[in-house]
Chain A
Amino acid sequence: MNLLEQVAAWFADPAHWAGPEGVPARLGEHLYYSALTLGLAAAVAVPLGLYVGHTGRGRVAAIAAAGALRALPTLGLLTLFVILLGIGLMPPVYALVILTIPPLLAGTYAGIAAVDRQLVDAARGLGMTEWQILTKVELPNALPVLLGGIRAAVLQVIATVAVVAYINLGGLGRFLIDGLAVRDPVRLVAGAILIAVLALAVDGLLALVQRFALPPGLKTSRSGRDREAIEAGPLAPAG
């Protein structure tokens, strides 16, 4: 049997789909860690990105900090947190949060900064408050870039969360790390496939969300029918 057939057999084995070490349980853990990481990172990065993007204050510092954070080695940071705080759920998650902040911050900031300044000035001229400008003008206009940034961050998190299995946590990374530890290439490849499939599936889902979450006015669709639909939209209530 070659490796691929063995991997197929691994997936076909019902024993690998049951119990606390089965694929569904590991998948659940993986998604849980990912969501926790993203939630915490977004709580820091999005408000900060909005603030910096809207006011332009601390732009240089934010970009420099995000760049510096990006350069941190994942495994080193993970180990550092575990050495400082001990094993458990949160130390590895903190490490991942730090690594997830840069793409989220950059995406948010870039989205806001890319909004046409004339639009913002016009809004200000109309007498909108700064909060209204942010929420009603900048944020909707920034959505395409912002959602793109979030998508990139999610993809990165789902792929990177595998490293928490390096130190005492579960997730799909367990298959990778354990497979490596006991020199079981079949398990290793199966784990890699699972993570890749999960990342692609979630990315596909987000692509759909991105499509439907955009305000109609921002959609740049190529097909004529779509454009008609968008143009017909506002007219429909009148008709």
Chain B
Amino acid sequence: MKNAVLHRSRLQAAGRRTLALPAALAAATSLALALAGCGANSNPLEDTSSQPAAGGTAQAPLVVGSSGSTESQTIAEIYAGALRSAGFEVETKPGIGSREVYVKAVEEGSVDIIPDYSGNLLLHLDGNATAASAPDVLAALPAALPEGLKVLEAAPAESKDAMVVTKATAEKYQLSSIEDMAKVCGELTIGANPEFREREYGLPGLEAKYNCVPKDFEPINDYGGPATLKALLTDQIQVADIYTTTPSIEDNDLVVLEDPKNLFIAQQVLPLVKADAVSQDAAAVLDKVSAELRTEDLVDLNRQVSGDEKRSPADAAADWLEAEGFGA
């Protein structure tokens, strides 16, 4: 690491003194060599040192961005923390904004890595995509990505909409999947964000895929938050659209209904990266993180960050990394 810092200051000094291209290139290459060599977790064969992809543009620290949500911010801190302990120099850029904005930011190179969700990313890139199951979405993603962008290994963790009922409702109607729910659909009121009424994954999809037309629909504009929860727990609505990573599901013993026909497109957490900025070593670190990141972990992290504790995403991420063996 010391080595990399040394090279870094030399590079900056070189950049300040002169704009001569050969000098800058030489410095960049030496930095890339240093970066590739200094990580504790890096490939012992150091094969990246000979790869041109790792050179040239890798002189800056890796920038890990995140969207506006705290979940995205926490995952970004996990990525950043894992990369740091593997010896990479990392900067974080939280709260970039919506997908429109941050995909462009990665394309332009102001952000190198950002956590995203497989389904929403696919739909953003290709509005006509029909893939819905987890493997189909991952298979469709590479072709849909613009030049220069790629996604790394997806985590088993999924953060997606789900039809959620109380335990009492589940027992009363014998519900474990949306198929069961469809049989008694006419007796149930669904509460969700207003777009659920019109979006393909909402009421239209429920009818088309499960032949389920609910008794009523209550638009509650808080993304399955406290108002939705209150309405669900007081039986004003019987079914709510709540994200799978919301702690309130576990805290209130709610039942998430299975979705065998993929009404809700798979939303696995994965890093969206700028291909030529992220070396194989860095990608390997992120792949290892993804392999360990499960939905329960996200629930737990969300509870720490958004619950009463109000921990910072960085602190929560650091604990997770430590527990999963990514500590420095």
Cβ of A177 and Cβ of B219 under 8 Å apart? yes
Chain A residues closer than 8 Å to B220, beta-carbon distance? 82, 87, 167-168
The smallest C-beta distance from A186 to any residue of chain B, in angstroms, reads 14
Closest to B194 in A: A181
Tell me which of B199, B219, B226 contacts A168 (CB under 8 A): B219
A86 to B228, CA, bound (A): 9
Can you list, as one digit per residue, whether each of B225-259 has a CB less than 8 Å from chain A (1) or not (0)?
A: 01100110010110000000000000000000000
Q: Which of B194, B197, B222, B230 neighbours the largest number of chain A CB atoms within 10 Å of its CB? A: B194
Chain A residues closer than 8 Å to B237, beta-carbon distance? 87
Chain A residues closer than 8 Å to B236, beta-carbon distance? 86-88
Cβ of A166 and Cβ of B221 under 8 Å apart? yes
Q: Is B306 an interface residue (CB 8 A)?
A: no
- Size of the chain B interface, CB-CB below 8 angstroms: 19
Cβ of B193 and Cβ of A86 under 8 Å apart? no
Tell me which of A83, A88, A177 contacts B221 (CB under 8 A): A177
Cβ of B219 and Cβ of A86 under 8 Å apart? no
A:164-192 near B, CB below 8 Å: 165-168, 174, 177-178, 181-182
Cβ of B222 and Cβ of A87 under 8 Å apart? no
Closest to A75 in B: B221
Chain B residues closer than 8 Å to A88, beta-carbon distance? 236
Q: A79-B227, A83-B226, A83-B227 are in contact. Are A181 and B234 (CB under 8 A)?
A: no
Is chain B's interface secondary structure helix, strand, loop, or mixed overall? mixed
Cβ of B227 and Cβ of A82 under 8 Å apart? yes
Q: Is B198 an interface residue (CB 8 A)?
A: yes
A50 to B114, CA, bound (A): 60
Cβ of B234 and Cβ of A86 under 8 Å apart? yes
Cβ of A181 and Cβ of B195 under 8 Å apart? yes
Cβ of B194 and Cβ of A86 under 8 Å apart? no
The smallest C-beta distance from A64 to any residue of chain B, in angstroms, reads 30
Cβ of B193 and Cβ of A181 under 8 Å apart? yes
Give chain A's interface residue range (CB within 8 Å of chain B). 10 to 19
A181 to B192, CA, bound (A): 11
A178 to B191, CA, bound (A): 14
Q: A83-B226, A86-B236 are in contact. Are A178 and B219 (CB under 8 A)?
A: yes
Chain B residues closer than 8 Å to A87, beta-carbon distance? 191, 218, 220, 227, 230-231, 236-237
Chain B residues closer than 8 Å to A82, beta-carbon distance? 220, 227, 230-231
A181 to B194, CA, bound (A): 6
A181 to B219, CA, bound (A): 11
The smallest C-beta distance from A138 to any residue of chain B, in angstroms, reads 44
A168 to B198, CA, bound (A): 15
Cβ of A167 and Cβ of B227 under 8 Å apart? yes
Q: Which of A79, A86, A177 neighbours the largest number of chain B CB atoms within 10 Å of its CB? A: A86
Chain B residues closer than 8 Å to A177, beta-carbon distance? 194, 219, 221
Chain A residues closer than 8 Å to B227, beta-carbon distance? 79, 82-83, 87, 167
Closest to A87 in B: B231
Can you list, as one digit per residue, whether each of B268-279 has a CB less than 8 Å from chain A (1) or not (0)?
A: 000000000000
A167 to B222, CA, bound (A): 8
Cβ of A168 and Cβ of B195 under 8 Å apart? no
A87 to B218, CA, bound (A): 9
Can you list, as one digit per residue, whether each of A125-155 has a CB less than 8 Å from chain B (1) or not (0)?
A: 0000000000000000000000000000000
A:2-60 near B, CB below 8 Å: none
Cβ of B226 and Cβ of A182 under 8 Å apart? no
A201 to B191, CA, bound (A): 34
Closest to A183 in B: B195
A166 to B219, CA, bound (A): 8
The smallest C-beta distance from A66 to any residue of chain B, in angstroms, reads 28
Can you list, as one digit per residue, whether each of A52-86 has a CB less than 8 Å from chain B (1) or not (0)?
A: 00000000000000000000000000010011001
Chain A residues closer than 8 Å to B226, beta-carbon distance? 79, 83
Tell me which of A79, A168, A174 contacts B218 (CB under 8 A): A168
A168 to B191, CA, bound (A): 9
Cβ of B230 and Cβ of A86 under 8 Å apart? yes
Closest to A179 in B: B194
Chain B residues closer than 8 Å to A174, beta-carbon distance? 194, 219
A6 to B226, CA, bound (A): 36
A177 to B191, CA, bound (A): 15
The smallest C-beta distance from A125 to any residue of chain B, in angstroms, reads 58
Tell me which of B197, B199, B222, B234 contacts A79 (CB under 8 A): B222
B:184-228 near A, CB below 8 Å: 191, 193-195, 197-199, 218-222, 226-227
The 6 closest A-B pairs by CB, nearest first: A181-B195, A181-B194, A82-B227, A168-B218, A166-B221, A87-B231
- Pick 21 A–B contacts, CB within 8 A, sort by A: A82-B230, A83-B226, A86-B230, A86-B234, A86-B236, A87-B191, A87-B220, A87-B227, A87-B230, A87-B236, A88-B236, A165-B219, A166-B221, A167-B219, A174-B194, A174-B219, A177-B219, A178-B195, A181-B193, A181-B194, A181-B221
Interface residues of A (CB under 8 A from B): 79, 82-83, 86-88, 165-168, 174, 177-178, 181-182
Q: A82-B227, A181-B221 are in contact. List 6 more A-B contacts (CB 8 A).
A: A86-B231, A86-B234, A87-B191, A87-B237, A178-B198, A182-B195
